[in-house]
Chain A
Amino acid sequence: MPAEEKKEEKGRNISRRQFFKEAGAVSAAVAGAAASSVIAPEEAEARTTFAEMFQKNYRLMTDAEKKEAIARLEQRYSEEYAKKVTVDGSPAIKDVLFGYALNIQKCIGCRRCVHGCVRENNQSRQDPEIQWIRVIKMEKGNFSVDDMNKGYPANTNEPFGIQVGGNTGKNVGVALEGQHYYQPETVPEKDAFYFPIQCMQCEKPPCVKVCPVRTTYRDPDGIVVIDYNWCIGCRMCMGACPYWARRFNWGDPNLPAAEMNPKTHYLGNRPRMRGVVEKCIFCLQRTRKGRYPGCVEVCPVGARKFGNLLDPESEVRKILDRKKVFRLKADMNTYPKFFYFID
Chain B
Amino acid sequence: MAEDKDSEAKREGVDFSKRAFIKTALIGGIAVASGAVIAKKITSNIPRTKLASAYVDDELQQDRVMKDKEFVVMSKEEKEQMVKTIVSEYKYMA
Q: Which positions in A face B, CB cutoff 8 Å?
A: 16, 19, 23, 26-27, 30-31, 34, 37-38, 91-92, 94-95, 97, 127-128, 130, 134, 136, 174-175, 177-178, 180, 195, 197, 203, 220, 238, 242-245, 247-248, 250-251, 274, 309-310, 317, 320-321, 324-331, 335, 337, 340, 342
Contact = CB atoms under 8 A, between A and B. Distances in A.
A92 B94 CA distance: 8
Interface string B10-33: 000000000100110010011001
Given A38-B40, A91-B94, A309-B83, A244 B73 contact: no
A12 B17 CA distance: 15
A254 to B, nearest CB: 11
Contacts of A26: 30
Given A38-B37, A177-B63, A250 B83 contact: no
Given A37-B37, A250-B55, A335-B82, 17 more contacts: A19-B19, A27-B30, A92-B92, A94-B92, A127-B48, A134-B59, A136-B66, A175-B63, A177-B67, A195-B66, A203-B89, A220-B90, A243-B65, A245-B62, A251-B46, A325-B73, A335-B86
A331 B74 CA distance: 12
B16 to A, nearest CB: 14
Interface of B: 19, 22-23, 26, 29-30, 33-34, 37, 40-41, 44, 46, 48, 51-52, 54-55, 58-74, 79, 82-83, 85-87, 89-94
30 contacts: A23-B26, A27-B29, A31-B33, A34-B33, A92-B94, A94-B94, A127-B52, A130-B55, A177-B63, A180-B63, A195-B66, A243-B62, A244-B61, A244-B62, A244-B66, A245-B62, A250-B54, A310-B87, A320-B79, A321-B79, A324-B73, A326-B72, A326-B73, A326-B74, A329-B69, A330-B70, A330-B74, A331-B70, A335-B85, A340-B71
A220 B92 contact: yes
B71 to A, nearest CB: 5
